[in-house]
């Protein structure tokens, strides 16, 4: 069974909670997806509105593991402070560590990521690093104390799927025992199925469900695709080949003549 | 004194972070986390966290995230 830092989960879908049409649809989508881990963030709160308090109640009702993120942080210091605040706020040592390098691609700053991961792991955090498919960075992250890797499929919110399946395969082969979560860029259930078929352990996505015309139905679609992809991986997917290979027996072909 | 509260200029007479939060209407159970000048201030230390002019204070709450 898949586990993250000793916590076992049945579901291989980690779900973001942002951009849903309403809190009610968010709750229904999480339930339909059967996700057991949801991501959340921390943001400035206006004292007069205190809208975070209602969101906290809603998340508690879902009875799922909470994975806070450091979304938007651009420096090691910002990410570390945000993680410390998240640990107190959400009462969990889990942190989805994001240190962002570029506003347009939202790609991780791998140097800052490794540095922040090292500081946080030493301080008792259980770090889920949002990284690229870079093998060298992955090695550094594990050496820094991470026990999960979360390479991007494509830039956050881009819905492009798996930009570099070759590199994801390499990561899978190189780290057979590290939970590998494709985080970001998943646009369709087929992208998620592909990640699971390749042997990735799980996917983390938000926009593809939240921005669907019917998020609850899309959550169900992703749950099905992820389950199918995992079963296919366990069953053993055929390697592609260049030439055709008849599936119907050749022996006994009618009207067959040796030329 | 002048401070910056969640990035906005603000004025307060509060001596400590705890007093500031009380003045803003947060009770003991409020689900918030705080930082002063970029450093995390745990809830247990808010009462002893003295405020100074131009301090930059962050009050964060749970929010949707991806």
Q: Is A20 on the interface with B (CB under 8 A)?
A: yes
Summarize the confidence of residues B52-65 as an average pLDDT. 95
Half-sphere exposure of A123 (CA within 13 A, CB side): 17
Whether A28 is catalytic is no
- pLDDT computed for residue A45 by the predictor: 85
Tell me how far apart the alpha carbons of residues A84 and A102 are, in angstroms, rounded to a whole number. Answer: 23
- pLDDT computed for residue A193 by the predictor: 98
* CB nearest to A47's CB, from B25, B62, B64: B25
Chain A residue whose CA is closest to B29: A53
Half-sphere exposure of A147 (CA within 13 A, CB side): 12
- pLDDT computed for residue B10 by the predictor: 95
**Residue A83's pLDDT band (cuts 50, 70, 90):** very high
- pLDDT computed for residue B42 by the predictor: 97
Summarize the confidence of residues A79-107 as an average pLDDT. 96
Architecture of domain B2-60: Roll (3.10)
Q: Is B34 on the interface with A (CB under 8 A)?
A: yes
Separation in Å, CA of A76 to nearest CA in chain B: 11
Summarize the confidence of residues A26-32 as an average pLDDT. 97
Residue A50 above 80 pLDDT? no
Residue A49 above 80 pLDDT? no
Q: What is the mean pLDDT of chain A?
A: 95
Residue A48 above 90 pLDDT? no
Separation in Å, CA of A17 to nearest CA in chain B: 5
Residues 6 or more apart whose Cβ sits within 8 Å of residue B59? A44, A45, A47, B5, B6, B21, B24, B26, B32, B33, B34
For residue A24, what are its two tokens? Answer: 């009610």
Q: Is A69 on the interface with B (CB under 8 A)?
A: yes
Chains A, B: CB contacts within 8 A come to 107
pLDDT digits (tens, 9 = 90+) for B19-34: 999 999 998 888 999 9
Tell me how far apart the alpha carbons of residues A121 and A142 are, in angstroms, rounded to a whole number. Answer: 10
- pLDDT computed for residue A107 by the predictor: 93
Summarize the confidence of residues B53-66 as an average pLDDT. 95
**Residue A257's pLDDT band (cuts 50, 70, 90):** confident
- pLDDT computed for residue A139 by the predictor: 98
Half-sphere exposure of A87 (CA within 13 A, CB side): 20
Q: Is B26 on the interface with A (CB under 8 A)?
A: yes
Q: Is B32 on the interface with A (CB under 8 A)?
A: yes
Q: Is B47 on the interface with A (CB under 8 A)?
A: no
Catalytic position from the list A8, A28, A74, A96: A96
ipTM of the shown complex: 0.95
* CB nearest to B64's CB, from A41, A88, A90: A41
Tell me how far apart the alpha carbons of residues A7 and A9 are, in angstroms, rounded to a whole number. Answer: 7
pLDDT digits (tens, 9 = 90+) for A160-218: 999 999 999 999 999 999 999 999 999 999 999 999 999 999 999 999 999 999 999 99
- pLDDT computed for residue A229 by the predictor: 98
Tell me how far apart the alpha carbons of residues A153 and A184 are, in angstroms, rounded to a whole number. Answer: 6
**Residue A98's pLDDT band (cuts 50, 70, 90):** very high
Rg from Cα positions in chain B? 11
For residue A259, what are its two tokens? Answer: 């030329």
Residues in chain A within 8 Å Cβ distance of B6: 44-46
Tell me how far apart the alpha carbons of residues A147 and A143 are, in angstroms, rounded to a whole number. Answer: 9
Chain A residue whose CA is closest to B59: A44
Percent of chain A predicted with pLDDT > 70: 100
How many Cβ atoms sit within 10 Å of the Cβ of residue A114? 24
Closest-CA residue to A28 (of A189, A178, A210):
A210
- pLDDT computed for residue A167 by the predictor: 96
Chain A residue whose CA is closest to B33: A85
Q: How far apart are the first and last CA of chain A?
A: 56
Tell me how far apart the alpha carbons of residues A30 and A21 are, in angstroms, rounded to a whole number. Answer: 13
Cβ proximity of A82 and B33 under 8 Å: no
């Amino acid at each position: 069974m898949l586990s993250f830092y000793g916590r076992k989960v049945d579901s291989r879908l980690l779900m973001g909670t942002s951009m849903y049409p309403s809190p009610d649809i968010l709750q229904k989508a999480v339930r339909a997806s059967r996700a057991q881990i949801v991501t959340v963030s921390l943001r400035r709160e206006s004292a007069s509105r205190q809208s975070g308090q209602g969101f906290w109640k809603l998340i508690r009702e879902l009875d799922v593991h909470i994975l806070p993120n450091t979304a938007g942080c651009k420096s090691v210091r910002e990410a570390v402070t945000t993680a410390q605040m998240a640990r107190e706020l959400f009462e969990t040592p889990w942190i989805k560590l994001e240190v962002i390098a570029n506003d347009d691609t939202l790609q991780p700053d791998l140097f800052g990521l490794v540095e922040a991961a090292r500081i946080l792991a030493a301080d008792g955090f259980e770090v889920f690093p949002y990284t690229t498919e870079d093998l060298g960075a992955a090695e550094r992250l594990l050496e820094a104390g991470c026990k999960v890797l979360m390479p991007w499929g494509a830039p956050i919110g881009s819905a492009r799927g798996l930009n570099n399946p070759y590199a994801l395969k390499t990561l899978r082969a190189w780290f057979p025992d590290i939970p590998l979560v494709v985080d970001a860029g998943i646009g369709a259930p087929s992208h998620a199925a592909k990640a699971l078929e390749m042997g990735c352990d799980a996917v983390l996505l938000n926009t593809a469900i939240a921005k669907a015309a019917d998020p609850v139905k899309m959550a169900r679609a992703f749950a099905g695709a992820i389950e199918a992809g995992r079963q296919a991986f366990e069953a053993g997917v055929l390697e592609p080949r260049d030439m055709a290979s008849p599936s119907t027996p050749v022996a006994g072909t009618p009207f067959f003549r040796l030329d | 004194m002048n401070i910056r509260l969640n990035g906005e200029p603000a004025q307060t007479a509060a001596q400590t972070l705890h007093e500031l939060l009380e003045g803003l209407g947060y009770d003991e159970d409020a689900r918030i986390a705080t930082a002063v000048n970029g450093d995390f201030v745990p809830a247990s230390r808010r009462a002893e966290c003295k405020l100074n002019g131009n301090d930059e204070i962050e009050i964060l709450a749970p929010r949707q995230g991806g």
